[in-house]
Amino acid sequence: MCGIIGYLGTRTAAPLLLEGLAKLEYRGYDSAGVAILERHDEAPTTHRVRAAGKIAHLVTALEASPTNGTHGIGHTRWATHGGPTQDNAHPHFSEGVSVVHNGIIENHAALRARLLEDGFEFKSETDTEVIAHLIAQALKSHSRLHEAVQASVAQMQGAWALCVISERHPEEIVVARHASPLLIGLHDAETSGHATPEVFVASDVSAILNHTRSVLDLNDGDVATLTIKGAKITDVDLRQVTRRTRRITWNAVAAEKQGYKHFMLKEIHEQPKAIRDTILGHVDGDNIFSKRNFPLPSPHGRVILLACGTSWHAALCGKILIEQLARVPAEVDLASEFRYRQPVIREGDIAIAVSQSGETADTLAAIREAGRLGAKTLSICNVVDSSIARMTGDVIYTHAGPEISVASTKAFTTQLVALSLFSVWLAGRTSSDNGEDEGARDERERALLTTIRNLPSTIESVLEHRERIQRIARRYAQYRDMLYLGRGLGYPVALEGALKLKEISYMHAEGYASGEMKHGPIALIDETMPVVVIATEGPGYEKVISNLEEVRSRGGRVIAVATMGDTQIEQLAEDVIFVPPAHPMLQPIIASVPLQLLAYYIADQRGTDVDQPRNLAKSVTVE
C-alpha cells in the first residue's frame, strides 16, 4: 500500500515526483524518498534523497539538496518489513540501480541470505533492498535493464509493483507488476501543456492526472521499458505484448478538498451525488441492471460475500438484504480468513467481492480462491479497472468517485446502494422458485426503488443536521470508550459507526448486536461509557428500546439515532439524532451518515489527523 511515481522527460523531475507523492500520501505516509538521475559530463549519477515521516520532510530535504535531473522515481511508504526510518525508506540502491517497490517479497529472507553470500551489503531491514541487489547482480550478465528485471522477478515470490532506474541505462525506466497496482501515463500534451514527449508511471492515476489522462494498465507478470517514445511491454511468458490505452475522464478537481477542512468531511457531503451517480449507473426507469446478466446461484447455491473492514460491514448488510429479499442463502466472510479455513464451495455458488479500491490483497486472494474452487465471481468495486474488478467474471461499479480520506464514507453508502439493487434484481429472478406472489414482489420492488431514488435528497436532509451533530460530538470528545449497539441491519451500522470512531479519533469503540449486551458487555456500562444506539423504526425496534433501557438503568449515557417523529426516544436518551423515515431495508444507508459525522467531529475536536490516521493506509495491498 505504498505509493509509487516515476517520470522521464524534459521537465525537472523533482517537483513532479513530489506533486505525485503528495497525491499518493494517503496510501502510506511513514517515510518517502526520490532517486533522480543527474548528468555530470554525460556520466549519470544518482541523486537519492529520503526522509522519515511525511512528504513535507522530504520536501525540506530536497530543498537542502536540490537537483534539476529530468528522470526519476519516488515513493511514499507504509512500513511492512523494517520500521519507518530513513534507512528503510525507498528508493533502495545497489551499484547504480535504484528501486521503489509496493508489495511484499515473501522469499526475501532466502534471497537476502544468498545475496549476502555473494558479497552484497545490506543497508536496510526491508524486503525491497533484495530487489535492488538482484537487479544489480543480473546486470552483470544482462546488458539490458529490461532483461535484468525479468531475471530478478523470476526469482521473487510475493507481490510487487516495481519501478527501476539505472545509471547505465539513463534513457529508460523499467517497471514490473505482479499482484500490486501500477499504471503507465503516456505523453498527453493537451493535459500537460508540454509538447515535448514524456512518460509517467504511478501506482494510482490520481498522482499523474494533472499531466496525462492517457494511461496503460499493466497485467500481472508484465515488465515494461518506458522511454520518451512510449512503453515496450513483455508478459509473464516474456512475449512482447500491447496493452489497452484508456482515457481517464475523472475530474482532477474532484480529488481536491474544495474548501472542506478534510477530505473525509468533503466525501461525507458528496454522498447524495455519489449515491445518485450509482443509481443512475444501474437503474433505467423501473429496470435495475437492465442490460446485465450476472451469474445466478443454482437452486441449492449460495451467495458468498467477501470483504474487509468497512466493505465487510457493507457485506454484512448485503447478506441480510439478499436473504430477506431474494430468499437465497447468503454468507459473509472476512476475506483475510476465507482462504485459510478450507472453505466449502458447491456447484452453483456465487462469490461477491466487495471492495472500494479493488486492490485489497486479502479480498483479491479470497475471490481468487473462491473462483479456483468453482464459484462464479462478481465484484462490487469503486475503482474502475482495479485488480479485483478485472479478476472477477462481472463487476458492479459504485460510482462514488475518488475516495481520498483513509476512512471510508461514500464508498460504504454506495456499496450499500449497489447491494440493495443487486438484492432486488436477484429477488426478481428467484421469487418464482420461492413460490412468492409476483404481485407482492413487484409492489415491494416499487417501494424499494422509490426509497432508493429518494436517497440523495434524504441524505441531504440528514446532512443539514451537521451543526447539531457537531454540538453533540463536543460533549463526547473527551471520553475514552464508546459502545455502539444495533439489531438486524442496525448491527452492521453499529459496527461501522464504531470503526469510524476508533480509526480517526483513536477512542476505543466497540460495535455490538444489542441482544448480545446481556451476554457480557453490559458489565462495562457506567457513566464513563457513552452508548450509541441505532434505534430507527423497523423490525426489532421495541427490543432495541428495551436494551436502551438496560443501559440507562446502569447509568450509561445514550446517544440515539432515531426516526423523526419518535416521541418516546427523547425521554430515554441524553441526545437524539433524528433521521427521516424510510423503508427499513434501506435505513442503514441513512443511519450511517450521522455516525460518520459524529466520528468526524469527535476526531476533529480531539485534533487528530483525520484524513491520514496513524498506522493506516487507504489501500491495503499487503496481506
Residues found near ligand F6R in the complex (CB under 6 A): 308-311, 355-357, 360, 363, 407-408, 499, 503, 619-620
Strand partners, 246: 215
Radius of gyration (C-alpha) of the chain in whole angstroms? 26
With vertex at residue 487, the alpha carbon angle to CA 483 and CA 489, rounded to the nearest 5 degrees, is 110
Residue of 23, 376, 500, 618 with catalytic role: 618
DSSP designation for 179: B
The CA distance from 202 to 22, in Å, is 12
Secondary structure, 3-state, 73-124: EEEEECCCCCCCCCCCCCCEEECCEEEEEECCECCHHHHHHHHHHCCCCCCC
Nearer to ligand F6R, 356 or 413 (CB): 356
Residue of 2, 163, 308, 317 with catalytic role: 2
Asked if 618 is an active-site residue, the reply is yes
* Residue in this structure with the C-alpha cell 454484512, named with its chain if needed: 316
Q: Are 51 and 86 spatial neighbours (Cβ–Cβ below 8 Å)? A: yes
What cell does 507 get? Answer: 477512542
The CA distance from 45 to 33, in Å, is 16
Please, what sign has the CA dihedral across residues 140, 229, 387, 405?
Answer: positive
The CA distance from 181 to 162, in Å, is 10
Nearer to ligand F6R, 27 or 90 (CB): 27
Secondary structure, 3-state, 185-201: ECCCHHHHCCCCCCEEE
Q: Least distance (Å) from ligand F6R to the CB of residue 617?
A: 8
DSSP designation for 325: I
Q: Are 136 and 95 spatial neighbours (Cβ–Cβ below 8 Å)? A: yes
Asked if 261 is an active-site residue, the reply is no
Nearer to ligand F6R, 150 or 357 (CB): 357
Cβ neighbours for 292, distance < 8 A, ≥ 6 positions apart? 394
The CA distance from 599 to 157, in Å, is 40
Please, what sign has the CA dihedral across residues 234, 235, 239, 241?
Answer: negative
Q: Least distance (Å) from ligand F6R to the CB of residue 334?
A: 10
**Closest residue to ligand F6R, based on beta-carbon distance:** 309
Q: Least distance (Å) from ligand F6R to the CB of residue 63?
A: 33
Q: Least distance (Å) from ligand F6R to the CB of residue 486?
A: 18
Q: Least distance (Å) from ligand F6R to the CB of residue 507?
A: 15
Q: Least distance (Å) from ligand F6R to the CB of residue 263?
A: 12
Nearer to ligand F6R, 145 or 354 (CB): 354
Q: Least distance (Å) from ligand F6R to the CB of residue 123?
A: 32
Cβ neighbours for 68, distance < 8 A, ≥ 6 positions apart? 12, 14, 38
* Residue 489: closest CA among 410, 590, 594: 590
Nearer to ligand F6R, 497 or 538 (CB): 497
Nearer to ligand F6R, 194 or 390 (CB): 390
The whole-angstrom distance between residue 32's C-alpha and the CA centroid of its chain comes to 21
Catalytically annotated residues:
2, 618
